[in-house]
Amino acid sequence: MAELGPAPWMLIVENSAAFTSLRKTLRAWPDRSQAGWLAYGSGDQLVASIPTAAEAFEERAHPVTDILLYGDLDIDGLECGQQTSARAVEAGLPPVEPAGGLYQALLKMRPRTLAPTGPQRLKAAITWLPESLRTKAEALLSGGEVLRQEALPLPGLRRHLHHGQPLLPQVRDVQGGLP
């Protein structure tokens, strides 16, 4: 976990390359008061480790009101988001929400081919995403395609996060100022 600014929110990133790109982007954010915590989730390990975040917030007297997750857009990533959210609430933290603005940007990238996701498992997992992204994500996953975070590298992140607009809405919201 990195404390990049005083804002009361945390963004968890599943992939190390995406974490590094977002860390560079957020460390260079002109108004650092808009940045909060950035954490590397390391896939499924995130579910077990999310309660330790509460200790870090308490130790630094820097609590959060919002926790967002940006992971691969695949069945495992969606289920990890759901499980991490439930575990966070059990630990007294806010629920973990999808970083809708980042997922929206990711959905514009070129997907990779993978075995299609079964319809029942997909219907259960897709509910974690904002409603406005579900149809496109469901079509992608049921059609045998996935989007890995590395499909949106540092230059793409910088094109989608605009310095002249508040940071958190761009990360959280599906509209969020993204072109």
The pLDDT tens digits for 8-25 are 999 999 988 999 999 999
What pTM was computed for the model? 0.92
DSSP string computed for 46-108:
HHHHHHHHHHHHHHTT---SEEEEE--BSHHHHHHHHHHHHHHHHTTPPPEEE-HHHHHHHTT
Each residue's pLDDT tens digit, 156-174 = 998 899 999 999 999 998 7
CB atoms within 10 A of CB 55: 10
d(CA 75, CA 118) in angstroms, rounded, equals 9
Q: Answer for the pair 83, 49: CB distance below 8 angstroms, yes or no.
A: no
Each residue's pLDDT tens digit, 15-58 = 889 999 999 999 999 999 999 999 998 877 888 899 999 999 99
Counting residues of the chain whose pLDDT is more than 90, the rounded percentage is 82
Q: 3-state DSSP call for residue 145?
A: strand
Each residue's pLDDT tens digit, 129-144 = 999 999 999 999 999 9
How confident is the prediction for the chain on average, in pLDDT?
A: 92
pLDDT of residue 12: 96
CA 36, chain centre distance (Å): 14
Q: Answer for the pair 62, 37: CB distance below 8 angstroms, yes or no.
A: yes
Q: Which amino acid is at 20?
A: T
Mean pLDDT of 81-99: 96
- CATH class of the domain comprising 2-163: alpha beta
